[in-house]
Structure 1
């Protein structure tokens, strides 16, 4: 029916009130359409019923087919041994297994009867466990008894395999100095739980502890012959009053370190009482980590102490240290020929002696992290030292360096000098993101100098590289390459100067073009290659201008993601540039004063959320 043919068309969608005659006419006019509507509704109901029947038949057929096709599933023909091997690849890679039902190995026991039987009979699935004791439950006998039974049941499934344990128990700070609150006293529930764990000490291979000193005392009393296979030990500093790390590890536990014959990996969050004990065989270590939980000066190594320690560990492969730089020089030189992974977090507010930067030689480095401690990111006085340290370490390992992280500020020309030393570099991170910081705090401000850093990475200012030598050569006959031609992972975190989305897009495209062009011109597999970026991560601590993120740019980034590139670019909201200077809300807030109660109000709601490009 056409509304235009209605005699009341000119009155429709108006406020006209129908007269008595018009009302009778309208009722008569609608009699046929209303009957037709009823017929249509009845037909729809009939068809819905028919569709419901068809859908029900379809579900039955799908179920019938699916249940029979399950019998044809290839995994059902796999032997239990193969399934067990596959299960081992499902275990968490970044942390030990937990009692979480949504993660393996417990998740594997919930799939079906067969998988449950296979999982429960595979010892290697149960040879590692993280145990957590909340301080609110450390006096709950029923809770601790259940936790102990669960631990025993878990570890019994591991057969006779070496086991890896992670134990965390943080006591309530208010109870630390309460003489009546001693949860690890004899015959206490926690003491019983520790005894349960100590029963398995002959099988301890990897032990991670974040527990009070009283628990360390119990472990320190374990006879050394029961720790004959312990290879890795990680000890977090016990918490003392005011939620600060204790400056004294339990002496009996420290003494125990001297009696671990196979210990090769040592990680301590607190080392002050260790004092580099002469009885400890430092030369056995292949991995060493001394990173305090906070910037408490008493827990940070002096630079000369760190070098003295490293001189006793010639077999180190991995080393992570926080160092307090000061004006005491170290005359000797330390050479670590096998070291391939080095992390140095340096705490310094004043200019340290440049000679310290020349004290360490590591010719086999493949991974290097140089970082400043919190609050020291932009200390100008330390820039010459960090420059010399980077030049020394990168120069010694120019052919082996693959991963570099720079979380200190030095002028960009010096950054370029450092990167020119490592043409085989595959991963570069500049800056860092630290938790609990406001968006505009702790940025890494790199003085620009007379250098186009992004241009050199893009190839617009290409670096000349000779194929017969991996180091840069000033030869016009050599092929031109971008800075760090083999770079595949690039991360800029809280770095200034900032880079707009269009600049980053051009960087990706340019390196892709160089990669394609260079590969076609240079088939030699042993020469320095040029590769396209696979990963780009950028976190800018400032808002993004909408003009820099046009739909075309956003679409281009999305296309790169669809092609397999990993891209994450985040800004702290959008930059609000309003052309209207007469907004209704203008003048409601005084920009000159921000109290502790109003600073969140002052922060734009748009900037409070990250914007991803």
Structure 2
């Protein structure tokens, strides 16, 4: 093998001219080219040797890796532990989708061992979210529905005999599915739903959100008459389009007698009053949610009298219309109720007296109440607090979310010494209320001394002096620091206000406040003033904001969206508060 002579920059006869602006003379050109050719040959040889060494290195590394895998702890895990790990891969806040991109199906695509373990672990297949395909062309809908049915049947077949958690969703469609069509789509959907109803004796958590077509089909499958046992049913949620109830004449409460363990019941967006007035016992219900339009108070009262063990109650859609109410108020005792949410219209015979048969609050005795949400639309101007009976001495209410007459907010808050979280949704902010919430050096204690989170969220709220908001924030932050961040009124001090959000329907008036707000934020306070933005195009339009870097002066619309999205997530139909 011939050894080529390698010329380096130090050996080059031109070393003293390198990295300079010298231009080779005609006599130098042949010598320079010879050096380049020689060095190029050497470079090619070295690159070839490097490639060979890299191939050898990769081969050795592969050998090491495949042998090291034989010692991998994950391969030596007992099947029981691997199954438990797989269980933690399932979504925690919803049922898993029938998708290859998430567990449990995804786990079976990793390797043969994982596939065997996942398919033989019933707990991975005991929950499922089913979307009934509606929005597709008729040419493909038939095969999609049939494939979905086969997939659901296979999925549930792997769950063994475990209790099931099932959620079913169908989107609204403007084109109805009709019987007698060549493809008979309603019958295909019925067969899909039948995969679920054949296993009703194993239901634990069941959630339906259905359109008109699927509601009609569902009425043929569901044991509304109480002919099937539901021994494990713990949670039942149903949401229907309003007109869908017209095709659901058999939705009565008799089946509750077949569900002795049912504790959580949610009904939304339908006429269910005959359900409330049925004869079945609701004594085992601990969480009840009724979010429907124009529900009559008499029906609510009759249903609540059967629910003495309620811990959480939501009634939205309360209306004032022709109703047959009792002549006098008979109190409904709810000794375990901790969360109460009422939204709707309340009309009193005398707006100075809350003790009225037309006032839902007047019926309720809830000594253990901790959270109160009230969104009250009024027939007239209140001269009293309709829920005053819940605010008596010794009340333990710690969280309040209220949309109500602004001039009574001061009186309401003065009756809540233990309040730690307040969401107030006023149309306007009263200076007196802000002063009462502000801590001062004098002997007078501010309203709600235990307050740690304050949200002023009226979408049309304006204020003349923004300094009042800043003074409130500073005083409650600093007072809390002086008396310890965890001190409350019950222990002789003022709690530190950690969170203060204000939604303002006005433009920013005092730009210098921005720095002062940022100073509080730097100290650790979560403080946001959300102002209305200019109507003209924002120069940053089209850019995605960094959600982890929230300016204390974000826009009114952006913060409103955050509130809406947050409430949607918090009160998601698929979740329970």
> Taking structure 2 as the reference length, what is the TM-score of the superposition?
0.69
Structure 1 residues 541 and 216: CA distance shift in structure 2, 3 A: farther
Q: In the alignment, is residue 370 of structure 1 matched against residue 374 of structure 2?
A: yes
Q: Which residue of structure 1 aligns with residue 337 of structure 2?
A: 339
- Tell me, what secondary structure is at the counterpart of 1:148? helix
Decide which of 412, 418, 428 is 1:418's aligned counterpart.
412
1:369: how far off? Answer: 1.2
CA distance in 1, matches of 2:528, 2:317: 32
Q: How does 1:62-101 map to 2 (within 5 A)?
A: 79-101=78-100
CA distance in 2, matches of 1:541, 1:142: 52
Q: Which residue of structure 2 aligns with residue 289 of structure 1?
A: 289
Decide which of 492, 507, 511 is 1:547's aligned counterpart.
511
Q: Which residue of structure 2 aligns with residue 393 of structure 1?
A: 390
1:418: how far off? Answer: 2.3
CA distance in 2, matches of 1:144, 1:128: 20
Structure 1 residues 245 and 550: CA distance shift in structure 2, 3 A: same
Q: Which residue of structure 2 aligns with residue 448 of structure 1?
A: 430
Structure 1 residues 179 and 157: CA distance shift in structure 2, 3 A: closer
Equivalent residues of 1:219, 1:253 under 8 A apart = no
1:544: how far off? Answer: 3.7
CA distance in 2, matches of 1:93, 1:273: 33
Q: Which residue of structure 2 aligns with residue 166 of structure 1?
A: 167
1:366: how far off? Answer: 1.7
- Tell me, what secondary structure is at the counterpart of 1:175? coil
Q: Which residue of structure 2 aligns with residue 213 of structure 1?
A: 215
- Tell me, what secondary structure is at the counterpart of 1:425? coil
CA distance in 1, matches of 2:216, 2:531: 46
Residues 98-127 of structure 1: CA distance to partner in whole angstroms, max 9, x if unpaired?
A: 234454444555566665555444433322
Q: Which residue of structure 2 aligns with residue 276 of structure 1?
A: 276
Equivalent residues of 2:135, 2:171 under 8 A apart = no
Q: How does 1:178-327 map to 2 (within 5 A)?
A: 180=180, 188-211=187-210, 212-221=214-223, 224-237=227-240, 239=241, 244-248=242-246, 250-254=248-252, 256-262=254-260, 263-269=262-268, 270-272=270-272, 274=274, 276-292=276-292, 299-326=293-320
CA distance in 1, matches of 2:473, 2:116: 50
Q: In the alignment, is residue 460 of structure 1 matched against residue 440 of structure 2?
A: yes
Q: Which residue of structure 2 aligns with residue 494 of structure 1?
A: 459
CA distance in 2, matches of 1:541, 1:363: 37
Structure 1 residues 221 and 115: CA distance shift in structure 2, 3 A: same
1:162: how far off? Answer: 0.7
1:352: how far off? Answer: 7.3
Q: Which residue of structure 2 aligns with residue 123 of structure 1?
A: 122
CA distance in 2, matches of 1:525, 1:70: 61
Equivalent residues of 1:232, 1:264 under 8 A apart = yes
CA distance in 1, matches of 2:512, 2:526: 21
Q: In the alignment, is residue 483 of structure 1 matched against residue 487 of structure 2?
A: no
Q: In the alignment, is residue 517 of structure 1 matched against residue 482 of structure 2?
A: yes
Residues 348-376 of structure 1: CA distance to partner in whole angstroms, max 9, x if unpaired?
A: 5898753224332211112221124xxx5
> Taking structure 1 as the reference length, what is the TM-score of the superposition?
0.65
Decide which of 499, 504, 527 is 2:491's aligned counterpart.
527
1:164: how far off? Answer: 1.4
- In structure 2, the gaps of 5 or more residues are 1-20, 30-34, 552-577
Q: Which residue of structure 1 aligns with residue 152 of structure 2?
A: 151
- Tell me, what secondary structure is at the counterpart of 1:151? helix
Q: Which residue of structure 1 aligns with residue 362 of structure 2?
A: 358
CA distance in 2, matches of 1:604, 1:350: 47
CA distance in 2, matches of 1:318, 1:114: 45
1:424: how far off? Answer: 2.8
CA distance in 1, matches of 2:485, 2:345: 47
CA distance in 2, matches of 1:606, 1:352: 54
Q: In the alignment, is residue 402 of structure 1 matched against residue 404 of structure 2?
A: no
1:420: how far off? Answer: 3.3
Structure 1 residues 551 and 530: CA distance shift in structure 2, 3 A: closer
1:509: how far off? Answer: 5.0
RMSD of the TM alignment (CA)? Answer: 5.0
Equivalent residues of 2:216, 2:244 under 8 A apart = no
Q: Which residue of structure 1 aligns with residue 556 of structure 2?
A: none
Residues 264-285 of structure 1: CA distance to partner in whole angstroms, max 9, x if unpaired?
A: 3322222345253332213332
CA distance in 2, matches of 1:84, 1:505: 54
Residues 489-541 of structure 1: CA distance to partner in whole angstroms, max 9, x if unpaired?
A: 7463536245999876665554443333223997x998366544454544444
1:449: how far off? Answer: 5.8
How many residues are paired up?
Answer: 497
CA distance in 2, matches of 1:536, 1:68: 58
Residues 133-192 of structure 1: CA distance to partner in whole angstroms, max 9, x if unpaired?
A: 13224962211121112212222232211101111224523427x665698788x32122
Equivalent residues of 1:248, 1:273 under 8 A apart = no
CA distance in 1, matches of 2:87, 2:147: 27
- Tell me, what secondary structure is at the counterpart of 2:218? helix
- Tell me, what secondary structure is at the counterpart of 1:235? strand
CA distance in 2, matches of 1:339, 1:157: 39
1:132: how far off? Answer: 0.8
